[in-house]
Amino acid sequence: MADTWRLIFNPDGDAADMLAYPSALIEGRIAGKYMLSTEKLPNTIVVQGARQKGILAGADVDINKETARKYDIRVANYPRSGRGGPKPVGTVNLSDVLKTSSRKFNAVDTDPDAPAVLLYTSGTTGRPKGVTLTHRNFAQQCDNVSKVLPLDESDTIVLVLPLFHVYGLSNGLISGVFFGTRMTLVPQYSPSMLLEAIERTSATVLIAVPTMYMHLLQIARTRKTSIPKSLRLCVSGGAPLALTTLREFEQAFQTRIAEGYGLTETTSSVCLNKSGEAFKPGSIGPAAEGVQMRVVDDNGSEVADGQEGEIVIKSAVVSPGYWNNPEATAETIKDGWLHTGDLGYRDEDGFFFITDRKKDLIIRGGFNISPREIEELLFTHPKLQDAAVIAVQDKREREAVKAFVVLQEGQEATEREILDYCSQNLADYKVPKFVEFRDSLPKSATGKILRKELREGYRDDRLLDKVSGDNEEQHNG
Amino acid sequence: MDNPRGLGRMLEEVARKQKKRQALLFGNREVSYRELDENANKVANGLQSLGIRSGDRVALMLPNIPDFVYAFFGIQKLGAVAVPFNTMYKGREIIHILNDCEARAIITMTNFANLINEIQEDVPSLEHIILTGQRTMVFVSPDSTVNVQMVVDKDTFTSGDDAFRVVGELLIDTLKTFGVEAWYKHRGGIRCGGKKIATVLVSEVENLLVINCLAFLGPLKTEDFFRVVWVSPEIKDKVMEPTTSVEEQTGTRPSVTQFKDALLPVLQSRLGISAEQGQLKRDELFGYEKTRALADKE
């Protein structure tokens, strides 16, 4: 090891210096290596401060330069590097793989029942479980889609939902390829980026979640003209879409929205409520062809139409089970029926309605309280933008209702106001005991509220522990 | 459907039928079905040459970019199992998933290199880290950050891992002079009470190691940064790992000069290296100016 290094001290540097110093040093050293220079340059250490705020960003990072100037943030971009730039030790560059590998490969013959994909989902308790999805599961899902919502080569479908989620992967990407459509990839969601992508590619199909429809509508309200009218079909899923939003969106974009319902365990959608056809507000629609759906009681016996129970599903789209987890599989799939954990009923026309998630129920004084019912009321409050309801323990350790609410921009409201509104519209036992105001609510990639993260003592999973053996206990404690 | 075709075969057949038709639109880029199919083949060949076989699990931690699609179908063509997971997952969540499915490889973005490097030790099955894209993002601020970079001969350290370890210890000792008790997680993260106080990334190019470190002297206020890089409010707190700083730990924020003055003796005592203040030489200055000009390109 050399004894003397060169120190370059640059206390008033900027974001561009963070890039330029190492580049310069590398260039000097490599020139020396190939004897392009006679000067032997030493090992060097650079210590730098920043004289102003700055972002050093890779070429694919989307930065608003105007805002950057406004807030006096120095933006420096990594040049788009070709092959041969520095790469983290012990890694492989995908671009090198793409440049050096043969473009010929014959797909291996796969057993239709072999796993193709594992998708990890979090239950209300415990760690994420890997849902095994087979080639057959995806093939059946494509077949189902071809019967209820056929697409074709002339369609352009917007893939804005994350492809790591079953909805975007199965009903977006895999269906998209199955039908030979054009697919517009949106790598990072923002309302204006989505709108721009629809416009630019004259998209005909949008698969999205309620929040996205709400955002697009908000933009549409402010700019009455130049709303793209190319969408022939929209699908909403992941969470319920308010009927008023659905109607207003259809009007503004001259389109139709079908609301779907499905789970990771069912390779996404199993039923669809198609607006404009046999549509029932608030329903998830009838079961798709190739899907058997029932409502059962706690003993697994089917209940009469109109009566609430757990929704169970049997179909070739149903996962064979959780990866390496026979216990969880046995708990969820009984006699070939997948127990969804969703409560609901079927009406006399065969339309299904979800009333709640089994595990999210709040039970107070023997009464079952549906958080969703209270949330839906709160959504209608003119000053509120968002709401979530969970169970908490009150002083006597009974379950009590707690509401988290997000005010609309520029609005003010007191706890009293919110509670009064609830009292006027809900049975007393359903009125929240506690109200907390928040700037935003934690949501999953598909816009589902993460109630787990709202519970007290919620542990941030992003923190790495020093001792990795004791995580489980702390987590449950 | 008695014997449906696999997903890899499905793409092959669709691509054969409509070679020239556009499959993917991404910004200004257009990818035809033939190109998509060929890129999937390249991934399949590449994975195969790394020793990945039918039935092996390959994790994907990627946003919606063409590489996701190539990787996904490449894995399918090979008969391997794709494990795509949420790009917002951090630390323990990722360790759990990779261990549960015993992933042999992960394909992810360059900006997650730090994170994956750091957890590789906890995932014995993980042999290959495959990186793509250019989404690295580093925030610097006069109220918070100090940046330490090294460009040294590869043989300065016995291995990449050794460089991570030694530089990690250098930073821990330097922080200790300010009264901060930090600890080091394999390859990259230096933390106090679970929160990140400094990072180390070791890269290689030709015969050199390039080491980039960032340490937080004062609290990093990210609000302004997130005005410039759009992130939806619901997920903002998930984008950045929680950080802490010398000031948050001790009540005092050292200056960049004080940090440098603390680092140099540690460099001497730990590695026996003395550092003499110098400047860039003529050859280097040329590269410096060139890179600065490129960095400013809109």
ipTM value for the complex: 0.87
Kindly determine whether residue A47 and residue B160, on different chains, have CB atoms separated by under 8 Å.
no
Taken in order A174, A176, A182, A183, the sign of the CA dihedral is: negative
Tally of CA atoms within 13 A in the half-sphere of B131 that contains its CB: 23
What is the pLDDT at residue B166? 93
Those of residues 137-196 in B touching chain A at CB distance below 8 A are 137-142, 145-153, 156, 160-161, 163-164, 183, 185, 189, 191, 194-195
Which chain B residues have a beta carbon less than 8 Å from that of A68?
Answer: 228
Pick the CATH number of A361-454 from 3.40.50.300, 2.40.160.10, 3.30.70.980, 3.30.300.30: 3.30.300.30
pLDDT of A358 above 70: no
DSSP single-letter state for residue A302 = B
Domains B7-132 and B145-276 share a fold: no
Kindly state the tokens that stand for B166: 């030694």
Query: Nearest 5°: phi and psi at A247?
Result: -65, -45
Kindly determine whether residue A20 and residue B163, on different chains, have CB atoms separated by under 8 Å.
no
What is the pLDDT at residue A122? 67
What is the pLDDT at residue B233? 58
Mean pLDDT of chain A: 86
CA gap A73, A54 in Å, rounded: 5
What is the pLDDT at residue A380? 82
pLDDT of A365 above 90: no
Q: pTM of the entire structure?
A: 0.82
Kindly determine whether residue A71 and residue B224, on different chains, have CB atoms separated by under 8 Å.
yes
Kindly determine whether residue B79 and residue A168, on different chains, have CB atoms separated by under 8 Å.
no
Contacts of B14 (CB under 8 A, 6+ apart): A177, A178, A180, B33
Query: Nearest 5°: phi and psi at A317?
Result: -85, -10
Q: Where are the domains of chain B?
A: 7-132, 145-276
Q: Looking at the domain covering B145-276, what would its CATH class be?
A: alpha beta
**DSSP per-residue string spanning B199-250:** EEEEEEETTEEEEEEEEESS----HHHHHHS---TTTHHHHSPPB--HHHHH
Q: How many residues does chain A have?
A: 477
Residue reference for tokens 């549409």: A220
A470: pLDDT confidence band, cut at 50, 70 and 90? very low
pLDDT of A461 above 60: no
pLDDT of A77 above 80: yes
pLDDT of A362 above 90: no
Kindly determine whether residue B110 and residue A316, on different chains, have CB atoms separated by under 8 Å.
no
Those of residues 98-127 in B touching chain A at CB distance below 8 A are 100-101, 107, 110-111, 113-114, 117-118, 120, 122
Long-range interactions of A217-225: CB distance < 8 A, separation 24+: A217/A245, A217/A248, A217/A249, A217/A252, A218/A191, A219/A191, A219/A192, A219/A195, A220/A249, A220/A252, A220/A253, A221/A252
Find the closest chain A residue to B268 by CA distance: A3
Query: Nearest 5°: phi and psi at B252?
Result: -125, 140
What is the pLDDT at residue A330? 95
| B14 close contact with A: CB closer than 8 A | yes
What is the pLDDT at residue B244? 93
What is the pLDDT at residue B157? 93
Give tens-digit pLDDT for A138-161: 999 999 999 988 999 999 999 999
Which chain B residues have a beta carbon less than 8 Å from that of A64?
Answer: 227-230
CA gap B80, B30 in Å, rounded: 27
Q: Which amino acid is at A45?
A: I
Kindly determine whether residue B230 and residue A190, on different chains, have CB atoms separated by under 8 Å.
yes
* Cβ atoms of A130 and A118 closer than 8 Å: yes
Give tens-digit pLDDT for A250-259: 999 999 999 9
pLDDT of A183 above 60: yes
Q: Of the candidates B140, B256, B288, which has its C-beta nearest A21's C-beta?
A: B288
Say which residue, B284 or A123, is predicted with more confidence.
B284
CA gap B222, B225 in Å, rounded: 5
What is the pLDDT at residue A211? 83
DSSP single-letter state for residue A366 = T
Kindly determine whether residue A112 and residue B229, on different chains, have CB atoms separated by under 8 Å.
no
A476: pLDDT confidence band, cut at 50, 70 and 90? very low
Q: Residues A319-328: what's their mean pLDDT?
A: 95
DSSP single-letter state for residue A241 = P
Q: Which of B50, B284, B294 to mutate to test the interface with A (most CBs of A within 10 A)?
A: B284
What is the pLDDT at residue A218? 85
What is the pLDDT at residue B277? 94
Scanning A154-235, the segments in alpha helix (DSSP H) are: 166, 175-178, 191-200, 210-222
Q: Where in chain A is the domain with CATH 3.40.50.12780?
A: 115-356
Find the closest chain A residue to B132 by CA distance: A94
What is the pLDDT at residue A224? 67
CATH no., domain A115-356: 3.40.50.12780
Say which residue, B62 or A192, is predicted with more confidence.
B62
What is the pLDDT at residue A124? 47
Tally of CA atoms within 13 A in the half-sphere of B276 that contains its CB: 7
Q: Residues A316-334: what's their mean pLDDT?
A: 95
Domain B7-132 has CATH 3.40.50.980: yes
Let me know the angle formed at the C-alpha of B165 by B163 and B171, rounded to the nearest 5 degrees. Answer: 100
Kindly determine whether residue A153 and residue B77, on different chains, have CB atoms separated by under 8 Å.
no
* Cβ atoms of A174 and A141 closer than 8 Å: yes
Kindly determine whether residue B6 and residue A178, on different chains, have CB atoms separated by under 8 Å.
no
Q: Where in chain A is the domain with CATH 3.30.300.30?
A: 361-454
What is the pLDDT at residue A263? 92
Q: Which of A177, A200, A218 to mutate to test the interface with B (most CBs of B within 10 A)?
A: A177
Kindly determine whether residue A24 and residue B152, on different chains, have CB atoms separated by under 8 Å.
no
User: CB count, 10 Å around CB of A243?
Assistant: 12
Q: Strands across the sheet with A384-393, in order?
A: A384-393, A399-407, A434-438
Kindly state the tokens that stand for B103: 């992933």
Find the closest chain B residue to A28 by CA distance: B284
Kindly state the tokens that stand for A196: 């721009």
CA gap B183, A148 in Å, rounded: 56
Q: Which amino acid is at A86?
A: P
* Cβ atoms of B211 and B187 closer than 8 Å: no
Q: Which of A462, A466, A473, A474 to mutate to test the interface with B (most CBs of B within 10 A)?
A: A462
User: Mean pLDDT, 10 residues at a time, over chain B (298 residues)?
Assistant: 90 93 93 97 97 97 94 98 88 88 95 84 95 84 95 92 92 96 83 89 91 95 81 61 91 96 95 93 89 82
Long-range interactions of A70-76: CB distance < 8 A, separation 24+: A71/B224, A71/B227, A71/B228, A73/B224, A73/B225, A73/B228, A74/A14, A74/A15, A74/A16, A75/A15, A75/B228, A76/A14, A76/A15, A76/A16, A76/A18, A76/A19, A76/B295, A76/B296
CA gap B210, A72 in Å, rounded: 29
Which chain B residues have a beta carbon less than 8 Å from that of A140?
Answer: 1, 4
